[in-house]
Amino acid sequence: MISELCNDIFDQSIHDYHLTDDVDTVITNPYPGGGIEHLLYAKNWVDTVQWHLEDIVRNPQIDPLAALALKRRIDASNQVRTDMVEYIDSYFLQQYSAVQARPTARINTESPAWAIDRLSILALKIYHMNVEVHRTSATVDHIIACTDKLAVLLEQRKDLSTAIDVLLDDIASGMIYMKVYKQMKMYNDPGLNPVLYQKQNENN
């Protein structure tokens, strides 16, 4: 099942990142390029680094210039995350390119890769909630609350994993057809963000 592969690789990526716990650590992808495993590991690594960038930028004592630099780094990371999702969807489009959709085939509300994106974030939530459950400096009430939240997250991962596997089975059988739209993010595009193109016009 693809969800089991995803969860195993996401957990591996998160573990590998926390060997240094440094947002500037260079990724060492253990999987060869061209395969889904390589894409999944790379996708979660980007998510994991961004998770920690989001933590850092929320430090109330952070220097404003440093915060601005981090915000721009997070914006760039968001674009990479979107690109990675599209790469994963391209993989599935290729995998199921020979499937003939049934006359009654329907479309899903999201593509397989966007569901896998949510699974990647869930893996991070589970990892960090588990850290809170075992944090010795935390209060008993905090640990109890986090234990309850962890149970919900684990149930959510189980349900989402099942849904992803069913979705891909339905695509493989022609019951659902894949249709992927590019995200067309506008805020990073100097031709689409009015703040950027107006500033460019002022400088010309």
Q: 137 burial class (0-12, 13-18, 19+ CB within 10 angstroms)?
A: exposed
| Lowest mean pLDDT, pick from 27-36, 138-147, 154-163, 184-193 | 184-193
Percentage of the chain with pLDDT > 70? 89
Give pLDDT tens digits for 27-81.
999 999 889 999 999 999 999 999 999 999 999 999 999 999 999 999 999 999 9
Stronger pLDDT, 44 or 109, i.e. the higher one: 44
Q: Where are the domains of the chain?
A: 2-193
Query: What DSSP element (H or E) covers 170?
Result: helix 140-172
User: Helix, strand or coil for residue 177?
Assistant: strand
